[in-house]
Structure 1
Amino acid sequence: MAHDVHAPDGAYLSFWRERHICTLTTQRPDGSPHVVPVGATYDPEAGLARIITGRFSRKVAHVLAAVEADPRGARVALCQLEGRRWATLEGRAFVRTEPELIADAEQRYAERYQRTPRENPDRVLIEVRLTRAMGNV
């Protein structure tokens, strides 16, 4: 079932505000999928999803390589599920290093996951400009 990325219904938005671990799917250089668990936040007003991570992770390397090949961004998907409920966000990802954007993403993570992320001087932000939302919640 499709949802409006910028104006999801209440149940969909509520599901994205609950504490769930997500999966992030990026593409390896050979085109195969790379799927890893992440914490993510969804900001429908801005049309963004945010993932904080270490700058030397494979997911960051995949996003950077994809952006180098296509400046429109790396095609990615975020998914979460619980029982029969599931939700997926798709979009174009970029790696952001601006301290104020990382601090904002850390605050959003802390709100969703009820815990402050550990200190990480190598932290970056994967920012996903959302193009599609789907799910059954």
Structure 2
Amino acid sequence: MPPSKQRRPAAVVASAALEAFLGDARHVAAFTTVRPDGTLHVAPVRFTWDAAAGLARVLTVASSRKARNLLAGPGGQVALCQVDGFVWATLEGTAVVVADPGRVALGARLYAGRYRTAPPAPPGRVVIEITVERVLSLNL
């Protein structure tokens, strides 16, 4: 089902404090994917949170380790954790790598809105779309 038709999981409830924290332009997050051999790969990333769609988005290139992990196991489980001292939020869900130009452009627009600067635009840019199924947080 295309993301625009996906239903947001009922378990995802975001308070105003969580929404503000996930929208703060100062922050990056640790993005965890699973390699084909079952080991974990963690990378710092900038991301956007689309509460209405229940999607987090990460721009990258198809040749990156995180994208290759997901391409090897489409719909794989991932975690995206943003931390600021003793305040943190983790978004857990399933992720897919999307090369569709329209969806990559949307990811870039949302990134520019959050971080107040255009994202890098290397050849092979894709967007990882994470359908968030669970949110964990502390002090939010």
The two structures have a TM-score, normalised by structure 2, of 0.88
SS in 2 for 1:45: coil
- Between 14-23 and 112-121, the greater mean CA deviation after superposition: 112-121
Dislocated runs of 4+, deviation >4 Å: none
Q: What's the CA shift for 1:119?
A: 2.3
CA distance in 2, matches of 1:34, 1:27: 6
CA distance in 2, matches of 1:81, 1:97: 29
Q: How does 1:31-46 map to 2 (within 5 A)?
A: 31-46=38-53
Q: How does 1:42-53 map to 2 (within 5 A)?
A: 42-53=49-60
* Equivalent position of 1:70 in the other structure: none
CA distance in 2, matches of 1:62, 1:11: 32
1:28 is aligned, of 22, 31, 35, to 35
The aligned amino acid for 1:123 is R
1:14 is aligned, of 20, 23, 38, to 20
CA distance in 1, matches of 2:123, 2:38: 30
CA distance in 1, matches of 2:81, 2:39: 17
The two structures have a TM-score, normalised by structure 1, of 0.90
Q: How does 1:47-86 map to 2 (within 5 A)?
A: 47-67=54-74, 73-86=75-88
Q: What's the CA shift for 1:118?
A: 2.2
SS in 1 for 2:123: coil
CA distance in 1, matches of 2:82, 2:59: 16
Q: What's the CA shift for 1:62?
A: 0.2
1:133 is aligned, of 132, 135, 139, to 135
CA distance in 2, matches of 1:118, 1:130: 25
Alpha-carbon displacement from aligned partner over 1:102-124 (angstroms, at most 9, x marks no partner): 00100111111111012222100
